[in-house]
Structure 1
């Protein structure tokens, strides 16, 4: 997917299928519906979208809403290297979060403010870094591979991430990708997936017992769920090309980006693979949905 000047749109989704949710969660995603500027909208799928802000200063791709819904962290490709920035939902202000001459991305944050992100600041290839509540930073990985897409478990005790592993018959690091879990207390890394293709962009179930991710082989990608111990892997999508899954905070839905005829849209689906629904319907690109808590 290309990094484009984008809209950010927040779409309220009815939990358990309700058109007016009792739990105020929304979806945030990017779109190039107006390529001249990046704008932010909020809609309940019934009324006209509400514009939150618009600016030509950023190229947004990769979102990480805070658990309290007060901030949206995003990856900005406007400069020579990607940086992490913070959007304040209440004030509308945008500020630097991690902005250096290196490539930063793939971040997540716990409720109490611990941060995980990937960067190539100490290595040619991106590695995983952890910042605790005291602001002390630790490099989690150190190898010859590429790390990306780090996510905290709901209790903040583990980090799941994707590692691009060189294919046996090629020097292309994008040939194979597997998921790994790092235990912050034990300081132990465990391989979660071991299958053909490229497994990436993981996210945890709200109870921390399962991980959802997209797995790609020649011909396309689909959404999979696996138990935290590496058992019980199952595929929940079967049509089109499906990527970037994100589990809803109540555990009822998984949002993902689906591509059909080169058109990307946001879909939601039940964890058992039922009730798939198309959320966006414009002729433009709509991608990388993330759930966020409403604070209005």
Structure 2
């Protein structure tokens, strides 16, 4: 039996389905030492941004990804917030939160394989544009096909890039939170102008002006900065409004993937760029999620 889980779930509506199910499940309390620490029902904290608005307010800890503390859940879940904001699939938040913050019931309810596959197929192009693969920990073959599980709703659809041709790194909302998310997901950030943008195979190649100021140096060395050329992955034919005016200053973010540097974000920077400046200031004091461990 599959459960079609709307974004704003009323838990009482779900309970009769669970109680009358023909399937037999081992309860969380009976999992014992095979699971580790005994699961507890706790409130979803407001700063667990990935799941605070998912539609229910209590979660089981440890979760279905074997995170035993709330601090670990927050650190790992924070890496996925930008993907939800990209709206690549309407079921992305429900799928991720069913694992990071499983609903507080007497038994674990996993996402169905079809929900995983639907989200994966819609969101992988977005993740790859930022240099991240679909992680092994979310391998869809691990999830059930015909047991009780959280299924993809018939109304769940891919929202981007299918509905928006804009290149993912260019589709940036000018808010402090979103800019900070992109800064955290990037290995480095610089302020510069773009000399030239040209197509190379299926990508777009960005040649930068010589004057470059590091805003988040990361592991980028001076020699690498001097020779830096960025690529907009699969960006040959998708619009990027920021590249239409090469005379402007930009906050340009990137990651090294293999032997190339990928563009992960680009924001116009001028005297009115208050949100950019706020994000950079907060970056100095805020601890970013660790993307390298989340996307393995």
Q: TM bucket by the smaller chain?
A: under 0.3
TM-score norm. by structure 2 comes to 0.26
| Richer in strand (by share) | 1
Look at both structures and tell me which one has the larger radius of gyration over its CA atoms. Answer: 2
| Larger relative contact order, structure 1 or 2 (CA cutoff 8 Å, min sep 6) | 2
